[in-house]
Amino acid sequence: MPLLEVNNLEVCFGLRQGSVTALRDISFQLERGERLGIVGESGAGKSVLGFSIINLISRPGFINKGEVLFEGKNLAALKNKEMRTIRGNRIAMIFQDPMMTLNPVLTIGDQMVECLRAHRKISKQDARVISLQKLKQVYIPSPDTRLDQYPHELSGGMRQRIVIAIGLLLDPDLIIADEPTTALDVTIQAEIMELMVELCERNNVALILITHDLGVVSEVTQRTIVMYAGRVIEEGPTKEIINDAQHPYTQGLINALPQMALPGQRLNQIRGTMPGLNDLPSGCAFSPRCDYVLPACHEAIPALTKSGGCNVACHLVTEQNNLSEVNE
Amino acid sequence: MSQPASLLKINNLHKRFSISGDFLDQLSFKGGKITRTQEHVHAINGISLDVKKGEALCVVGESGCGKSTVARTVMNLLRPSEGEIHYAGKRIDNLSHRALLPYRKQMQMIFQNPYASLNPRMTINQALHEPVKFHNPKWSHGQVLDKVHEVMEAVGVDPSWGVRFPHEFSGGQRQRISIARALAVEPEFIVADEPISALDVSIQAQVLNLLMDAQAERDLTYLFITHDLSVVEHFGTRVAVMYLGTLCELADTKELFSNPRHPYTKALLSAIPKLSDDREPPIKLTGEVPTPVNLPSGCVFHGRCPYANERCTQEIPQLKPDGTTMVACHGIDEGRL
Ligand SMILES: Nc1ncnc2c1ncn2[C@@H]1O[C@H](COP(=O)(O)OP(=O)(O)OP(=O)(O)O)[C@@H](O)[C@H]1O
Ligand SMILES: Nc1ncnc2c1ncn2[C@@H]1O[C@H](COP(=O)(O)OP(=O)(O)OP(=O)(O)O)[C@@H](O)[C@H]1O
Ligand code: SF4
Ligand SMILES: [Mg+2]
Ligand SMILES: [Mg+2]
């Protein structure tokens, strides 16, 4: 049994202007100890997916369809109380906004101790020792002093490292990390990513890493999901996706990296912007921006189809595969 | 050829934060006497820097080294503990709120945290209209709308988002809204604190192109804080590398990337994540990460530097020219690096 299995997940937001669908038909599996990257356009639904897995979508958002099986148990149907014991204890989430985890009126130490004691029967002193040790693991300088400081007294990057340390407190089986190193400089980012990989390997912990840093994805994860406008549009081994992207959006993403343009020259941006969730075009959501559109692209939503070692949702790719099959 | 004039000058800037709580918390009973101790975070320790008109000066450095603090003191959101800030030849760090007003339009800041920089109770339209109206009191409603529309389009903010509130948007979408807000009042100088870290690559490309266009068209000047070195290499004219509240290297972008001098800069460049697997392993820094509460003596980097010697542990290295680069390192000064 896979550790996590997401089947046909659909998440909506009920807004004044009517309801919008933020995630459509998302399915994937994650094995124990596996490291999965999720990349994609800003607003594509990556964070919403992270929240949905741990059933933290709150009004006006709701899970409309589908299931999230964690060791076979459907988290989407769990009562709040049961969910709370799984969250934190078995699944840790590191949020994109560190202040979602940190309470501004409590010191770092108090928050960590409280979190530990909510899930385990240990003394305050022991909890403090563990907290200190986790802060050291994420390279917080003078951790003793930091324990007695408030979140606003720390730099952006330190807050994020504290959030990571809190995520690691309870030795979870699955870590969902939403842009965990976005605010960090590369030397610390490298150290923390190495630490996370090491922790995952040593304790067989699975990791879902949401990030837009393709460099980090390629160094940390084994498999990658690319999202666009609420859907999975490409999925497969990270190496294949980075070196040989098939979907025109994924190709555009890699081509937009600063390394792909000469210094001082304009970067290769993908023309246009991602459509709003409530005015998606018919057919492929990427079609208004795509250089390769076929008539079929305006008519039907391309299904995720096997192509090479990956699954790709693109009419062009399907058509090319059909052609080469005929030729053989 | 004359050198372009400096738009912003930072002179020997220091910033300390007290972290000992209020008066009673500072008292302690030691050796039979009541003593008062105050602890400080030494966030910035003597930084001098000038930003020339029309350039994009990038500031990079370890998390917590004081980049945001520099940005906030430049913008007068924090008072320096020592030192001065000059803008267009005038000292601005000691001005009253009123005297600062004219500068508020010319200098805009994009904040690091897109979650905290937008007022949660204002719709996107309100957030964008307000500063334009404030700084252009004579404009008609139509002119304000046009301007707001123009910047929204430029940063890829869908005008239909206008009626919604910040919490309804993703991190990247919020950051684009903050960028639109900064550009809407047509400033001449922008302090951008990690403006694109929260954006995905394709939007990053869009926003960077936009910032470069604005620079070319309107001679905009940037103080640009980021830890993404590939962005720096692409966008920056000069780079300032900071470590623990001090400047360790200041160089033209090309020179910094082709010929980094300071050992910390070298480690930084080697740690850039790469898409290919065949890169050299990054230089690993060992040693305890130092703290701005108890600043190390001598060179702030000596505890983690593979080349530190006796002198490095005692004497603070000064920024000195080495070719066109300015670098603060005894090893380079002594010619052993
Ligand atoms: N509370 C909410 N109310 C309405 N819409 C929402 C809400 N939260 C998210 N959305 C919408 O859902 C979509 C997906 O948002 P999400 O935060 O998952 O994006 P993301 O992929 O994480 O982007 P980023 O890379 O910018 O963080 C966005 O279009 C956003 O506007
Ligand atoms: N209000 C404050 N009170 C006490 N200490 C503070 C305060 N603001 C910042 N500091 C401290 O000053 C130092 C520099 O912080 P700053 O936010 O400038 O770092 P930074 O270089 O922007 O880091 P990052 O890349 O993580 O954002 C840190 O040690 C931080 O803890
Ligand atoms: S399905 Fe068509 S429009 Fe969509 S990405 Fe593929 S080729 Fe382009
Ligand atoms: Mg997000
Ligand atoms: Mg900062």
For the stretch B30-57, pLDDT in tens is 667 777 777 888 999 999 999 999 999 9
Cβ atoms of B192 and B225 within 8 Å: the answer is: yes
Does B136 or A4 have the greater pLDDT score?
A4
Per-window interface: A 191-230 vs B, CB < 8 A: 212-216, 218-219
Q: Which residue of A has its CA nearest to B283?
A: A187
Atom in ligand 2 nearest the alpha carbon of residue B67: 21
Q: How confident is the model at residue A240 (pLDDT cuts 50, 70, 90)?
A: very high
- Closest by alpha carbon to A46, among A28, A32, A64? A28
Query: Nearest-CA neighbor of A278 among B164, B286, B9, B47?
Result: B164
Q: How far is the CA of A314 from the centre of ligand 4 (A)?
A: 24
B227 alpha carbon, distance to own chain's centre: 10
CATH number for the domain that contains residue B209: 3.40.50.300
Point out which residues pair with B193 in neighbouring strands. B225
Task: Reply yes or no on whether the pLDDT at B23 is more than 80.
Answer: no
Domain hosting residue A194, numbered range: 4-90+170-327
How many domains does one find in chain A? 1
Contact A185, A103 (CB under 8 A): no
Tell me the torsion sign for CA atoms B31, B36, B42, B47: negative
Tell me the average pLDDT of chain A.
90
- pLDDT tier for residue B1 given thresholds of 50, 70 and 90: very low
More confidently predicted of A131 and B29: A131
Query: Pairing relation of β-strands B33-36 and B6-18?
Result: unpaired
Q: Does the CB of A237 have a partner CB in chain B at under 8 Å? A: no
Higher pLDDT, B21 or A76: A76
- Out of B205, B275, B289, the one facing A269 most closely (by C-beta) is B205
In this structure, the residue with its CA closest to atom 6 of ligand 3 is: A314
Interface of A with B in 109-148 (CB under 8 A): 139-142, 145
Instruction: Give the per-residue pLDDT at A202.
Output: 85
Give the H/E segment covering residue A215: helix A214-220
What pLDDT does B4 receive?
Answer: 66
Q: Is residue B208's pLDDT more than 60? A: yes
> What value does the mean pLDDT take over residues B116-124?
86
Mutate to test the pocket of ligand 2, among B17, B110, B228 (most ligand atoms within 8 A of CB): B17
The distance of B163 to chain A (nearest Cα, Å) reads 10
Q: Is the CB of B245 under 6 A from ligand 2?
A: no
- The distance of Cα A90 from the centroid of its chain, to the nearest Å, equals 17
| Residue ranges making up the domain that contains B286 | 6-26+37-333
Most A CBs within 10 Å: which of B201, B207, B211, B256, as the mutation test of the A interface? Answer: B201
A44 lines ligand 1 (CB under 6 A): yes
Distance B152 CA to ligand 4 centre (A): 20
Residue B30 pLDDT: 66
Nearest CB to B293 within list A145, A155, A190: A145
Residue list, CB under 5 A from ion ligand 4: A 47, 96; B 170-171
Q: Which residue of B has its CA nearest to A221?
A: B275
pLDDT in tens, A23-53: 999 999 999 999 999 999 888 999 999 999 9
pLDDT bin (cut points 50, 70, 90) of residue B27 is: low
Sign of CA dihedral B50, B52, B54, B59: negative
pLDDT of residue A260: 86
List chain B residues with CB under 8 Å of A39.
Answer: 200
**pLDDT at site B26:** 66
A213 CA to chain B: closest CA distance, Å? Answer: 7
- The length of chain A, given as a count of residues: 328
Q: A55 and chain B: CB distance < 8 Å anywhere? A: no
Residue A93 near residue A44, CB atoms below 8 Å: no
CB A220 within 8 A of CB A197: yes
CB-CB under 8 Å, A273 with B156:
yes
Q: Tell whether A287 is covered by a domain.
A: yes
CB pairs under 8 A between A and B: 177
Residues A76-104 have pLDDT tens digits of 988 888 888 888 789 999 887 777 788 88
Residue B3: the pLDDT is 61
Mean pLDDT throughout A51-72?
A: 92
Kindly report the nearest CA distance between residue A12 and chain B, in angstroms. 12
Q: Answer whether residue A207 shows pLDDT above 60.
A: yes
Number of domains, chain B: 1
* Alpha-carbon Rg for chain B in angstroms: 22
DSSP letters spanning A131-160: HHHHHHHTT-SSHHHHHTS-GGGS-HHHHH
For chain B, what is the mean pLDDT?
Answer: 88
Q: How many residues are recorded in chain B?
A: 337
CATH number at residue A14: 3.40.50.300
pTM: predicted TM-score of the whole model, two decimal places: 0.84
pLDDT tens figures, A150-197 = 988 887 778 888 888 898 888 899 999 998 877 677 777 887 788 789
* A40/B62 CB distance under 8 A: no
Chain B residues with CB under 8 Å of A258 CB are 204-205, 208, 228, 230-231, 233-235
Which residues of A, range 297-326, sit inside 8 Å of B by Cβ? none
Q: What is the mean pLDDT of residues A252-273?
A: 86
Per-residue pLDDT tens for B287-324? 666 778 888 999 999 998 999 999 999 999 999 999 99
Compute, in angstroms, the gap from residue B193 CA to the centroid of ligand 5: 7
b/e code B94-116 from CB counts within 10 Å (16+ = b): ebeeeeeeebbebbbbbbbbbbe
What whole-number percentage of chain B has pLDDT above 70? 92
